[in-house]
Structure 1
Amino acid sequence: MTLADAFVSKRNNFTAVRLLAALAVVLSHAFYISTGVTESEPLISSTGLSLGGHAVNLFFGISGCLILASWERHPDPLRFALARTLRIMPALIVAACVMVVSGMWLTQLPLTDYLTSSKLGAFLLKAFSFNARATLPGVFESQVPTNIVLMTIWTLKYEVAAYLGVLVFGLIGLTRSRFFYPVALTVCIAAEVALALWPEIAQKHTSLPHFARFGFCFVLGMSAWRFRAYVRLDGTLFLVAIAALATATLFGGLPRALLYPAEIYAGLWVALSPRLPVVGWLQQTDLSYGIYLYGWPISQALQVQWPGVGMPSLVALSMVLAVGAAALSWIMVERPSVRALPRMTAWAMMRATKPIIVAPSQNPSNG
C-alpha cells in the first residue's frame, strides 16, 4: 500500500500519533523541571536532541504532509490563512489568559501588586506573538529552573513560517512542481551540513538551526505528500527506521539529519498503516495542541506547589492534568474554532467582494 492508497481510505491515526508526540514533550520537560539540568532529558546525550525535540520534529513532518494536502484540496489563500489562524490562535489566546488568571494563585507577590503589574499586558503581547520568554510577575520564581510560563510556544513561529512558505510557493505554483522538492531537500541538507561544519554561525544566529531543522522536517512531510503515489507503507522500511532510531539512542554518533527521515517515516507508517487498528474516537478529538500548550505550566505548577514530588509522580500527574486541560480546550475552544471556518470564510469573502458605494457629490448651486 502507498501513502496515496492510505489517504484515499481516510483511515488514519494521525491524531493518535500527535497525542503520543505531545505526551512525549510533557515527559521530556518533566525531567528538566525536576532536575534543572537540560542534559537530564531523555535522548539528548545520545542524539543531540531531547525526546521532546524529536517529538516536535514529528509534529513538523506530519504538518508538512497534511498542510500541503489541505492547500491542494482548497488552494484559496483566504481560506488557508483563516484555517491556520483558527487552529492556532484561539487556543493560544485562551491559554495565555488562563495563565494570567492562574497567576493570582501562583504568584509570590501580594495580589494587588500582581494585578496592577504592567507585566500582565506584556505577558499577553509576548504570548500572542509566540515569545516563549513571556513571564508573569512573581510566578514560578522558586523551586523550578526557569520562570517561563508557556515554554512550548516558541516553536509556533516556525510553524507559521512553514505555513507562509506553503502559501507563497503554492500561489506561484512551485508546490505542483516535481523538481521543487529535491531542490528544497538539498537546500535543507546543505543548511544542516553548514551548521555542523561552522557552529559559529549557529552561535551568532540562534534561530538558524531551528529554521533548518524544522524546515527540513516540514519539507520531508511535504515531499511525502507530493510523491504519495510512490511512497510505500512497508513494514520492512518501518523496522529499518526504528532500527536507525534505536541505534542512535543506544550508541549515538549518527548525524541528526539522518534521523529526521527515519522518525517522520515511522510516524507516517504508524498513522496510516492498515496493519494497525484505528483509534476511532481520537479521529474526531485532537488533544495534542492543548497538551502541548498546558503541559509545561502544569508541570511547573506541580513542582512549585509540591517541591518534594518525585519524577514518576510529576510525570504521571502532569500527563493526566494536561490531558484534562486539553480536553476542555478542545471542547470549548479548538473544536468550535475549527467548525467556524466555513462561516468565517464566507463572511470574509462577502466583505472582500462587497461593492464600495460612493455617494454622489452634491453641487451647492443645485439647491
Structure 2
Amino acid sequence: MVLFSHQHALMGRPGIDTGLGERFGLGGLGVCIFFIVSGYLVTQSWLRDPNAFRFLAKRFLRIWPGLFIVTCIAALLVGPIVSGLDVKNYFSSPGLREYFGNLRVIGGGTSYLPDVFTHNPFPRAVNGSLWTIPVEVHWYLVLVVAAVAGALRWRWIALFGIVGLAIYHFGVYHGETNPVRNWSREYGLFFLAGALLQLFRDWWADRQVLLIVGSLTVGTALFMLGWHVLGVLVAMPCLVIFTGEASTPFLRRFGRFGDLSYGVYIYAFIVQQTLIWKFGASGSFTLHLLSTVVVTFICAWLSWHLVEKRALSFKPSRIRSGKERIHEVDLEKNLA
C-alpha cells in the first residue's frame, strides 16, 4: 500500500481517494497497519523471552544491518551517480555526512543528499520511508520500560495506561484538530493497540467475529461524528490482526522466499526515485509501478539473504529449562 501510494506522489500524480480523508490515504493506512503489526509481534517476542537486553539486541539486529547497507548504497553509490554535483564536491558536502545520521535510529537524520533528485517531480527526497524507524524504536523503548515495570505481566495496567494515553491525546492535546500533529504519539497508539491485542490474545481467540463487528461499528460511528483518527484507531487493529492470524495458503507459500517485508520497506522509495530520475515521470504509471515492484523485490530478496538473515543468526537466545519448554504454550493463560 505504501509503495503504491508513493508511486503516485513521486510521479506527481494524484493519489487514490480512500474516502477516509487526507490523513488516511493508502500510504497513511499502510503506516497504521505497519505499527499495529509491529506492536503485536514485538510484544509477542517479549512475552516469549522477557529479557530487556535480548529484546533490544534482537530489535537492533532486525533493523540496523539492513538500514546500514541501504544507507551506504544511497549515499555512496546512487548519490554520486545521480547528483548534479561533481564527485569531489559531492563527497565533501556536509549533506553527505548528515545523511548518515539516519543510522542513529533515535533522533533520525535527513532524507536528502547533496543535489540528488533535484529535478524529480518529488524533488530531493532520497528515502522518505525511513522517518518511521525512529518512531518505531521510540515505542520499542517504551515497551521495554513498561515491561520491566510489570505492565505487561499485569495486562490490565497496560490497558488502563494505553486508554489514559488515548484520552490525553484526543481529549487534552486535541489530536484530531491540533495543527501541530504529534506523529510519534499518534502512530504509537496504533503500535500500542497491536500490543494490547497480543496481551489479550487468549481472551479474543474465540470472539473474533464479535470483536470485528463491534470495533467496526464503534469506529465507523466515531468517524462519522468527526473523530477520524480515533475512529480508524478503534476499527482497524482487530481487522488487521485477525486477518493476519488467518494466514492463507498463498501467504504461507510466499514466505518460502524469506521475510522480504523490511527490505521492501527500506528499498522501495529509493528505487522509485532512481527509476523516475532515469526514465522520467511522464510514461506509463503501470509500467513504472511494475518496474519498481520487480527491482524492489530483487533488492529485498538480496537484503534478506545476504544481510538481514545473516545478522539475525547472531540473535541472543535464552537457555530454557525443560519445565519452561513444557509450559511455554501456557504463557498467555498465566498473564494476570
Per the normalisation by structure 2, the TM-score is 0.82
Judge conservation of contact 2:219–2:232 (CA < 8 Å) in 1. no
Of 89, 105, 120, which aligns to 2:64? Answer: 89
Q: How does 1:1-367 map to 2 (within 5 A)?
A: 24-35=1-12, 40=15, 42-43=17-18, 46=21, 48-100=23-75, 101-129=77-105, 131=108, 133-190=110-167, 191-196=169-174, 199-200=177-178, 202-203=179-180, 206=181, 208=182, 210-232=183-205, 236-237=209-210, 240=213, 255-273=228-246, 278-282=251-255, 285-307=258-280, 308-342=282-316
For 1:238 and 1:47, the matched residues in 2 are separated by 27
SS in structure 2 at match of 1:323: helix
Match of 2:30, as an amino acid? A
Match of 2:81, as an amino acid? W
Judge conservation of contact 1:71–1:80 (CA < 8 Å) in 2. yes
Per the normalisation by structure 1, the TM-score is 0.76
SS in structure 2 at match of 1:279: helix
Q: 1:321 to 1:275 in 2, by over 3 A?
A: closer
**Alignment correspondent of 1:356:** none
Q: 1:169 to 1:113 in 2, by over 3 A?
A: same
For 1:173 and 1:239, the matched residues in 2 are separated by 29
Q: 1:29 to 1:54 in 2, by over 3 A?
A: same
Match of 2:177, as an amino acid? P
Match of 2:63, as an amino acid? I
Judge conservation of contact 2:16–2:26 (CA < 8 Å) in 1. yes
SS in structure 2 at match of 1:143: coil
Unaligned 5+ runs, structure 2: 320-336
**Alignment correspondent of 1:19:** none
Judge conservation of contact 1:64–1:221 (CA < 8 Å) in 2. yes
Q: By how many angstroms is 1:195 displaced?
A: 4.2
For 2:52 and 2:70, the matched residues in 1 are separated by 27
Higher mean displacement: 137-146 or 290-299: 137-146
1:215-262 per-position Cα deviation (integer Å, ceiling 9, x unaligned): 2111111111111111136674587489769979xx995622222243
Q: By how many angstroms is 1:212 displaced?
A: 2.5
Q: By how many angstroms is 1:326 displaced?
A: 0.7
For 2:279 and 2:6, the matched residues in 1 are separated by 17
* Structure possessing the higher relative contact order (Cα contacts under 8 Å, 6 or more residues apart): 1
For 1:120 and 1:241, the matched residues in 2 are separated by 50
Q: 1:195 to 1:36 in 2, by over 3 A?
A: farther
Judge conservation of contact 2:96–2:114 (CA < 8 Å) in 1. yes
Aligned residues: 314
Q: 1:246 to 1:230 in 2, by over 3 A?
A: closer
Bigger-Rg structure (1/2)? 1
Judge conservation of contact 1:241–1:266 (CA < 8 Å) in 2. no
For 1:152 and 1:142, the matched residues in 2 are separated by 20
Judge conservation of contact 1:140–1:147 (CA < 8 Å) in 2. yes
For 2:309 and 2:218, the matched residues in 1 are separated by 34
Q: 1:276 to 1:187 in 2, by over 3 A?
A: farther
Judge conservation of contact 2:215–2:234 (CA < 8 Å) in 1. no
Unaligned 5+ runs, structure 1: 1-23, 347-367
SS in structure 1 at match of 2:142: helix
**Alignment correspondent of 1:365:** none
Q: By how many angstroms is 1:131 displaced?
A: 3.1
1:46-96 per-position Cα deviation (integer Å, ceiling 9, x unaligned): 363221111111111111111111112111111111101111111111100
Q: By how many angstroms is 1:29 displaced?
A: 0.8
Q: 1:239 to 1:179 in 2, by over 3 A?
A: closer
Q: 1:332 to 1:135 in 2, by over 3 A?
A: same
SS in structure 2 at match of 1:176: coil
1:125-151 per-position Cα deviation (integer Å, ceiling 9, x unaligned): 245446363311121111222312111
For 1:87 and 1:32, the matched residues in 2 are separated by 29
SS in structure 1 at match of 2:24: coil
Q: 1:265 to 1:252 in 2, by over 3 A?
A: same
Match of 1:192, as an amino acid? F
| Percent of aligned pairs with the same amino acid | 23
Judge conservation of contact 2:128–2:269 (CA < 8 Å) in 1. yes
For 1:276 and 1:341, the matched residues in 2 are separated by 29
For 1:270 and 1:150, the matched residues in 2 are separated by 29
Judge conservation of contact 1:95–1:293 (CA < 8 Å) in 2. yes
